[in-house]
Amino acid sequence: MNAPTPPGAPPPATDATEPIAHHGVGSRIRKYFLTGLVVAGPVAITFYLVWSFVTWVDDLVRPFIPVAYRPETYLPVNVPGLGLIIAFLALTLLGFFTANLVGRTLVEAGEKILERMPVIRAVYRGLKQVFETLFSQTGSSFRKVGLIEFPAPGMWSLVFLSTPPSAEVSAVLPPEEHVSVFMPCTPNPTTGFFFYLPRRSVIELDIPVEAAAKLIMSAGLIQPGSGDSQRALSVLVEQARAARSRSQAPAK
């Protein structure tokens, strides 16, 4: 039993290691909730996106499948993914037949018909060029990441290096090597700005495109690098400073 404290004396010191009850329970609940959210959130969103894509393809392909050949005709439940499998097989067969002489002849004949249609011609040309660029196995679009000094001196932005300028564009640009760059916006990297820059104004970075996309979508919270984000960020800053010093140096 503790002795009573004399009047006017300071209160007895308490043990610093004694837990505080009203803070411990709330902190633990918050910690467990955030941990569960971090674990379940990406899994749930991934499954939702995959399921939405499979359902969308099934809805597109199902009207072309006779009712007698649909699995739900004989099963009590709907079987998802059948439309996706059929679409994959159909596109693969289409590519196989297009690769031979007969297929190429038919494709060229179809393209000649589309080329004679005023409005459809422009839409088809643009979409074909975009698909050939995005899905080409030998394409070089968006394979590199760079830094440019934008929107003001001393401020640096991430950009993706696209294909080189065409001969028509290069003919009207200043007589030096230029590159095509795309500067995405945060947090939606599908929107942004596209422009041509002199190659000397772009600092190419040795980081994957996926890491740069995560950096942009997270507004800088997910830094590039595996477990050593601070060192990776320091490298980016040093590269930017070096490029600024070179650009401000007087020409000899």
Report CA-CA distances (Å) from 150 to 128, 134, 193, 226. Answer: 32, 27, 12, 27
Residue 19 has pLDDT above 80, yes or no: no
Decide if 223 contacts 229 (C-beta within 8 A): yes
Q: Which of 134, 110, 135, 115 has its CA nearest to residue 125?
A: 115
Decide if 194 contacts 163 (C-beta within 8 A): no
pLDDT digits (tens, 9 = 90+) for 24-38: 788 889 888 888 888
Q: Which of 128, 126, 160 has its CA nearest to residue 146?
A: 160
pLDDT digits (tens, 9 = 90+) for 113-146: 888 888 888 888 877 777 766 666 555 556 788 8
Chain-wide mean pLDDT for the chain?
77
Q: Which of 49, 69, 51 has its CA nearest to residue 59?
A: 51
Share of the chain above pLDDT 70, in %: 75
Residue 144 φ then ψ, to 5° = -130, 155
Decide if 148 contacts 156 (C-beta within 8 A): yes
pLDDT digits (tens, 9 = 90+) for 183-197: 888 877 778 888 888
Model confidence pTM above 0.75: no
Domain extents in the chain? 144-248
Alpha helices in 62-151 (DSSP H): 82-98, 101-115, 118-134
pLDDT digits (tens, 9 = 90+) for 48-104: 988 998 889 888 888 888 888 787 778 777 778 888 888 888 888 888 888 777 777
**In what helix (H) or strand (E) does residue 65 lie, and over which residues does it extend?**
none
Q: Compute the distance between CA of residue 205 and CA of residue 30 in angstroms, rounded to an integer.
A: 39
